[in-house]
Amino acid sequence: MKIIVCIKPSINSSDISYDLRSGAPVRPAHTMLSEAEWAALQTALDKKNQYDAHVTVLSVADESANPLLYQALRAGANRAVRLWHLEDGEPLDTYAAATAAAAATTTLAADLVICATRSADLGSGFFPAAIAAAAHFELISGVLSLSFKNGVFDAVQKLDGGWRAAHRVQFPAVIAVEPEITRIRHNTVLGRTYRVGLAGEVETWTPEMVGLAEMPRSLLREMDLSLPRIRARVASPGNKRVSSMDLLRRKNKDGAESKQTKLVGTPESVAEELLGLFGKWQA
């Protein structure tokens, strides 16, 4: 079984400083992983020890991810890969990172991708869904436990309101785990796993190595724009159930001249004229 663990180097917001002249934020050199990402790595290492799986740690990031990848090797991962081809420090959105990670997943012929439900900085939870869609893998998010029995994996998913859902994992799949899925363990410095990891090296891959002409940059979506619906406003503070339209009807009923106005023109001009009429009616 081939398992890929996706990690993202994040920064602590309290470590951000600002340039005194320009006021621009300065990205700190120190990066970290969220508790859920450490739990994802530990889950993969547990499966490696139990079922002789091969664990590759993958990060789509600049050189700031190298210390974290070396930590993963010393923790027991078989392989560490960093996929990057942009200038260091250039931003890469979640969709682009997930698309690149999906291409690497296909190249590595992974059976199972394990990642955190949310990262430490942005925490949007979009990455697991994006990589599953790009790689055409099944997705189970919010996983609290992952067990292997009779040749298949069973996952327990966390739902709102304290509910749980049981899933039979069909490979290939993306599993997004919660921090409480396992207890994080640290290897001793003199232990065999740590010493073997010291000999490991972080591989740097380019987009061409995973079949991409270039690194994806951003996600572009088209949106249909429409005029907002105007909500009825209360016309009389004394009677909250009386709307401006009801007040207009009462005026017409009491003898006020009722006339119809025909609006002609472009949608923008009609909308502008209609808003002006509503203002007059509510005055």
Instruction: Please give the domain boundaries of the chain with CATH numbers for all domains.
Output: 2-210 (3.40.50.620), 234-282 (no CATH)
| CB 120, CB 13: distance < 8 Å | no
Mind listing the pLDDT tens digit for each residue in 208-256?
999 988 777 655 433 333 334 444 444 444 545 555 566 656 655 555 5
Q: Which helix (H) or strand (E) holds 246?
A: helix 244-253
In sequence order, which residues have a C-beta less than 8 Å from that of residue 252 and are 6 or more positions away? 258
* Weakest-pLDDT range from 38-42, 104-108, 124-128, 160-164: 124-128
The Cβ of residue 103 has, within 10 Å, a number of other Cβ atoms equal to 23
Taking all residues of the chain, what is their mean pLDDT, rounded to a whole number? 78
User: pLDDT tens for residues 84-115?
Assistant: 866 555 566 788 889 999 999 999 999 999 99
User: What are 102's two structure tokens?
Assistant: 């999906």
Q: Which residues contact 256 (CB under 8 A, 6 or more apart)?
A: none
Residue range 124-128: mean pLDDT, rounded: 85
Alpha-carbon distance of 82 to 182, in angstroms, equals: 25
Strand (E) or helix (H) holding 252: helix 244-253
- Residues of the chain above pLDDT 70, percent: 68
pLDDT surpasses 70 at 189? no
Per the rule left: phi > 0, alpha: psi between -120 and 50, beta: everything else, 217 is alpha
pLDDT at 222 (0 to 100): 34
80 contacts 73 by C-beta, under 8 angstroms: yes
Residue linked to tokens 């039979």: 168
Half-sphere exposure at residue 199, Cβ-oriented, CA atoms within 13 angstroms: 5
* Nearest CA among 136, 72, 62 for reference residue 102: 136
CB atoms within 10 A of CB 8: 23
Mapping DSSP to helix (H, G, I), strand (E, B) and coil, where does residue 241 land?
strand
DSSP letter for each residue of 52-110: --EEEEEE-S-GGGHHHHHHHHHHT-SEEEEE--S-TT----HHHHHHHHHHHHHHTT-
DSSP secondary structure code for residue 120 in this structure: S
Q: Give the residues across from 239 on adjacent strands.
A: 236
What digits encode the pLDDT tens for the residues 130-143? 999 999 999 999 99
pLDDT above 80: residue 272: no
List the structure tokens of 190. 């003199």
The region of weakest confidence among 65-69, 191-195, 263-267 is 263-267
Tokens found for residue 122: 């942005």
pLDDT value for 223: 34
Kindly report the number of other CB atoms within 10 A of residue 128's CB atom. 26
* CB-CB neighbours of 236 under 10 Å: 12
Neighbours of 263 (CB within 10 A): 11
Give Cβ neighbours of residue 50 (< 8 Å, ≥ 6 apart): 148
Residue 282, classified by CB atoms within 10 Å of its CB into exposed (0-12), middle (13-18) or buried (19+), is middle
Q: Which residue has the higher pLDDT, 77 or 52?
A: 77
Alpha carbons 281 and 245: distance in angstroms, whole number: 8
pLDDT by residue (tens digit) across 11-67?
766 666 677 777 666 666 677 888 889 999 999 999 998 888 999 999 998 888 899
Q: What's the token pair of residue 148? A: 């292997």
Of residues 148 and 166, which shows the higher confidence score?
Answer: 166
Question: Are 5 and 41 within 8 A, CB to CB?
Answer: yes
Mean pLDDT of 7-13: 79
